Chains A and B, each alone.
Chain A
Amino acid sequence: MNKTFDLKIFLPAVLLSLIGVGLIYAATYYSGSEAAKNLFYRQFIWHGLGLAVCLAVYSIPLKFHEAFAFLYYFAAAVLLIVVLFMSRGSTSRWLHFGSFNIQPAEIAKMAAILALARFMSFRKTKHDDLNWVLAALIIMGVPALLTLVQPDLGSSLVFFAVFVAILFWSGLSVPQIILVISPVISVISAFHWITWGIFFFLLILLIFFSKLRFLQGAFFLSINLAVGMITPVLWNQLHDYQKMRIITFLDPGQDPRGAGYQIIQSKIAVGAGGFFGQGFLKGIQTKLDFLPEQHTDFIFSVLAEQFGFLGCMVVIALFFWLFYRGFSVALKARNQFYSYAACGMTAVLVFQVMINIGMTIGLMPVTGLPLPFLSYGGSSLIFFWACIGFLLAFNRDWQEY
């Protein structure tokens, strides 16, 4: 392997993948069904495909991706629209190609990151206004909305996270970022007039001290005022069951038959792991097949139960290693496109790890985001392997430079 291929990026991904395969083996070991046991082999195949994608991305000249970033973006948007019309049951997240299913949301994540990075790289450095933020918002907002209606709240939040991360990377200050996302905060705080009042007061202070031009300040104020007043009105017009549907959509842990039960069982599994864990294939919770989603979204609970605090720390360290390498690539990248793309991809990684583990230990709502490299599931794995391919390629170009 030549010296431009950064093993420090590649190695943690490989190690995490191997641990993931072992955990899927453990999660399905006691399952009665053959199909469940086969998941372990299938995961190997997915990793194989993922590696191939990673190497392909690495081998194709980056100029190519840079040139086609917007084309990718439009293709992905079309896929997201197509998938909405191919719904099976109440959700429509999958495109079916024979026995092969893909999630367009994963493709869209990659395409949106590349497109936004491309857009940011166009931008001349001294633009003293926030109009470009609106364009960036539209680039991320379109796929975010299309995944939200699937409905897949988790994936649409990923787009939002990338958006915020890239704003930050562009040099926007924290108060400015808060200003940009203030309508969202306004919606959340508008459920009680006191919280909203406090928020609105702080917003006025923020606008005053960030020395915005008058029109911009008025714009943000009026948007927040409108959102804050409309939200409670709309909410009160909903029927109770509609409210409940929204609440369980935002926080499925509120649905005691489904995710609420899973969270309890997941927490028990994590806690029961102790410091050293109960040992490989020894976990009671796993054995008794408590968690229906254990090999996918709740894979971390298998790790925690069987390998304890120690095992968790190893995995967390490996993830942190990846974050560190990812942000380093973003810092040292040779051009703006590489830099923004690396930052966006690493942000997805951080966000999904945070949300998934947080959910497993009961800190975050159940959003159904898989744990990178560990959870079972092809589309997600291929996305993250593609990220690794890009990070390796950005890193190579920097070293060659």
Chain B
Amino acid sequence: MSGDSSENRVLNYRILLLLSFLFMGFIAVRLFGMQMFAGGEYKRASEQNGVRLVPISAPRGLIKDRFGETLVKNRPSYSIYLVPYEVSSLDSASVLLGKALKSKPEDIRDRIKQGRQGRFQPIRLKRDLDFATVCYIEEHTLDFPGVIFQVEPTRFYPVDNYGSHIWGYVGELTEKELASDAYKGSSLGDVAGKDGLEKFYENKLRGITGLKYMEVTAAGKILGELTDKQRIKPVQGSTLLLELDWEMQKLAEDELALKGSGAVVALDPRNGAVMVLASVPDFDANLFSGVVSEEAWKAVMSDSLHPLYNRSIRGTYPPGSTMKLFTAAAGLEHNIIGPNDYFEPCYGAKKFGNRSFKCWRPGGHGRLHLVDAIIQSCDVYFYQLGVGEGVDLWSYMMKAFGFGKPTGIDLPAEDPGLVPDAAYLDKRYGVKGWTKYLVVNMAIGQGELLVTPLQMAALFAALGNNGIVYRPRLVSHMISSDGDTTVVAPEVVGHMPIEKENLDILREGLIGVTTNENGTARIAAIKGITVAGKTGTAQNPHGDDHAWFVCFAPAENPQIAVAVIVENAGHGGSVAAPLARKVIEKYLQRQSAQNQSENITQLLDE
């Protein structure tokens, strides 16, 4: 088998020597070929330093609604790059380029300095050039050594201003972002999501930048792609499939715009799917995806209605009477009141401590039990219920229901709202700077308590869905460019501590709001389906009160929950309730259309 005999060793020694000689000989032959035959070619390449690495931007992922309608896409645009090595004088180049690109020479200079990664790494000077500028520079190529044009995808929102708060917008990375680990590998002029889905799903939407090798002459003229090395194709970001229903979204925004400013949120109580997330006024997200002109930026920023501000997740309002439901739930759970118990009758006002608190109906409601108090939204009833609970129990229960914390929607910077508790009030008014009657106001949803429209929709949805709180979810699927689909599953994030029989009592009250002859939102009633809802009026110290309506339908097994707030519109019943009704009607219409088309496909299949 083996032999260490000296003959074997000598043979092995010779084989090893021969092998290493062959290796070296092979290298020598190759060197000879490269240096003697191809030498001239390499020498030319070397003298001209002829290889440039040019990045190929990846298109961002698309965004589609639940029926596959494309809401956000990309369009081709020209970007201009500069290779610093070709520039002999930075000053004159900045002046010439500044003139062509209509920028200040100092800005161009700064940009070149900032973007410099190496002598031969092209720097992106400007994105989304207009065609005239491209032509001008192309005609004067000799004046612009080192300039490279690239066709790159630019974010495009083809849907006017609708939904702009949902996707947010993209913008160029700042110097600080470029230096951070999160954007490693990005270069100057790359864009990233700055708000909305664009920001929240940045890692999914971004894609992977490709790369090509360009051969360039000594004069800086591009000869074309180097054949020696293949280009690396960019990879488009994942497509986001939303739970959004585009028709409903448009309807909600149009209706809101007719009435001024505000927000509408509609979601599916059974899984948290967000079908509408409207905030008005909105803005044109396209403004930001190219190069933002100073005027456009100023116009958006100086608008007194703050169009960039997403009211549905960041607008915090007192919930008004919609909160009475939760005050009632807390009271029922802790036996402060039973369904058939009475408080003192309402005579239009009641004194607590040395202050008198009015009911919205000056003549009073008389004696009511809980369901009627909800239906007629009697303030005096809930003042007494709030005092019975006290600040500590009340704020503890509101937090347990989910107020005062973000709902967890897949959007950045959601406002958690605010549930005042004793600690907060001590801080605000000083210890003993407030009385136990402060809860009187909070029990009917006024005062320090703050909620977002999304919170109202999500927590009302839970009231309709046996107290199960789902995380509101805009994205249902993420589809990578090679077809891998990630499903974003519904996620239960909480259970409201309310017993089933108490939920039924609350539901009875909510149904009465739209069906009872004394209900405050009979205008929201829809034929053939029971809507369970509650109106609200949020006192606004800065102007007219805000109108709320929050509801779910059908009342028995809800498929949709809607929260509407119309700013400065006064009473909730007359303004907000009809809007919610329209959203629900649209939903029903979409459902029946879908059922019909499903029936047809079924028929066809058969």
Interface residues in chain A, defined as those with a beta carbon under 8 Å from any beta carbon in chain B: 125-129, 165, 168-172, 240, 256-257, 260-261, 264-265, 267-275, 284-285, 288, 290, 304-305, 308-309, 312-313, 316, 319-320, 323-324, 327-328, 330-331, 336, 339, 343, 346, 350, 353-354, 357-358, 361, 363
Contact = CB atoms under 8 A, between A and B. Distances in A.
A309 B36 contact: yes
B43 A288 contact: no
6 contacts: A171-B3, A171-B8, A270-B31, A304-B31, A309-B35, A316-B27
Contact of B213 (A264, A339, A357): A264
Interface stretch (B47-55, B332-340, B512-520): B47-55
A349 to B, nearest CB: 9
A255 B139 CA distance: 36
B595 to A, nearest CB: 39
Contacts of B228: 264
Given A288-B119, A313-B28, A331 B35 contact: no
Contacts of A172: 2
Given A169-B9, A171-B3, A363-B30, 16 more contacts: A127-B1, A168-B12, A169-B16, A171-B2, A171-B12, A256-B53, A267-B34, A271-B41, A271-B42, A272-B46, A284-B47, A319-B24, A320-B20, A320-B24, A327-B17, A350-B23
B53 A257 contact: yes
Contacts of B8: 171
B20 A125 contact: no
A293 to B, nearest CB: 14
A275 B32 CA distance: 8
A128 B46 contact: no
A169 B12 contact: yes
Which of B34, B41, B119 has the most chain A CB atoms closer than 10 A to its own CB?
A: B34
Given A327-B13, A363-B30, A273 B35 contact: yes
Contacts of A273: 35, 39
Contacts of B12: 168-169, 171
A327 B9 CA distance: 11
B45 interface: yes
A274 B35 contact: yes
Given A125-B2, A264-B229, A361-B31, A272 B9 contact: no
B21 interface: yes
Chain A interface mostly helix, strand, loop or mixed? Answer: helix
B10 interface: yes
Given A272-B42, A331-B10, A288 B49 contact: yes
Contacts of B10: 331
A350 B42 CA distance: 28
Interface residues of B, number: 43
Contact of A271 (B2, B13, B46, B211): B46
Contact of A361 (B30, B43, B53, B232): B30
Nearest to B480: A240
Contacts of B119: 288
B4 interface: yes
Nearest to B208: A241
B31 A256 contact: no
B482 interface: yes
B232 to A, nearest CB: 5
Which of A172, A267, A268, A274 has the most chain B CB atoms closer than 10 A to its own CB?
A: A268
A350 B32 CA distance: 20
Contacts of A269: 42, 46
A331 B8 CA distance: 10
In the A-B complex, list the 4 residue pairs whose CB atoms are closest, starting with the nearest.
A271-B42, A272-B46, A171-B2, A331-B13
Contacts of B213: 256, 264
Contact of A256 (B21, B43, B229): B229
A270 B4 contact: no
Contacts of A261: 51, 53
B6 to A, nearest CB: 9
B493 interface: no
A254 B516 CA distance: 73
Which of B3, B9, B38, B47 has the most chain A CB atoms closer than 10 A to its own CB?
A: B9
Nearest to A271: B42
Contact of B9 (A257, A331, A346, A357): A331
Contacts of B42: 267-272
B2 A170 contact: yes
Contact of B31 (A169, A257, A268, A312): A312
A274 B36 contact: yes
B4 A170 contact: yes
Nearest to B17: A327
B39 A274 contact: yes
A220 B371 CA distance: 82
A271 B30 contact: no
A165 B24 CA distance: 17
A136 B30 CA distance: 36
Contacts of B43: 271-272, 274
A336 B13 contact: no
Contact of A268 (B16, B32, B36, B46): B46
Interface in B197-226: 211, 213, 226
B51 A264 contact: yes
